[in-house]
Amino acid sequence: MNRSLSKLRSGRLLILMATLLSASSLSAASLTISSPAIRDGGRIPSVFTCRGSDKSPPLAWSGVPDGTKTLAIVVEDPDAPGGIFIHWVAFNIPANSSGLEEGVPNRSELPSGGTQGVNSFGRVGYGGPCPPPGPAHHYHFRLFALDETLPLGPDATAGRLMQAMQSHVSASADLVGIFGR
C-alpha cells in the first residue's frame, strides 16, 4: 500500500515535471546549467555523494531570460527503486545570481539568497546520491527560470514546488550526472 502510494506520487511528480519542462522548451536553449565538478552525462565525484562528504557540487548557470524574478533547482533520481527520489529543492534564488558554490550549508536560507526545501531524505538542503548497489543512477540537476517569487517556506517539497511553479516557468535547463555503487 505505502509503495503504491509512493509510485503514484512519483508518477504525478513526473507528469508535472514533464508539463513544466515542455512549457518552457521554446526558451530553454538560452538557459544553461553546468558544474566545474560534473561533466554533463559524466560521473559524479564521490565527494558529492554519501560515499564522500555528501556536500553539494558547485553549479553555474547563464542565459537567464529577461523578466525572470527567481530561479529554482530540483535534483532528482528517476532511477530510484521506489520512484523519483528528490535530492535537493531550492527556490526563490535571485535571478541575478550566476550559480551556487560547492558545499552549500544544509539550512533553510541559501547564503546568496533563496530558500532550500525538504528532500526525500526528509531533510532541508542537499542530500547526495546514495543508490543501492547495482547499475548506476542518473541524477538530474534541473534549473527553472520563474516569472515570480514563490509563496513557499522551507518545508516545501519538490511536489509543492512543482505545483507552485505551474504557469510561471519561462525556461529550464538540465545537467545530468551519473553515480553508482
Question: What pTM was computed for the model?
Answer: 0.86
Q: What is the pLDDT of residue 10?
A: 52
Q: CATH number for the domain including 55? A: 3.90.280.10
User: In which residue ranges of the chain is pLDDT below 70?
Assistant: 1-29
Print the domain residue range for 159: 2-179
CA distances from 24 to 15, 51, 90, 122, 169 (A): 14, 35, 19, 29, 6
pLDDT the model gives residue 109: 97
Strands 59-62 and 115-116: unpaired
Cell, residue 120 = 526525500
pLDDT of residue 63: 98
Tell me the backbone φ, ψ of residue 158, rounded to 5 degrees: -60, -40
Q: What is the pLDDT of residue 9?
A: 52
Give the CA distances from residue 148 to residues 31, 36, 49, 101, 178, in Å, rounded to whole numbers and listed in that order: 17, 29, 32, 24, 32
- Please count the structural domains in the chain: 1
Per-residue confidence (pLDDT) for residue 41, from 0 to 100: 97
Q: Given this model, what pLDDT does residue 17 score?
A: 52
> What's residue 23's pLDDT?
47
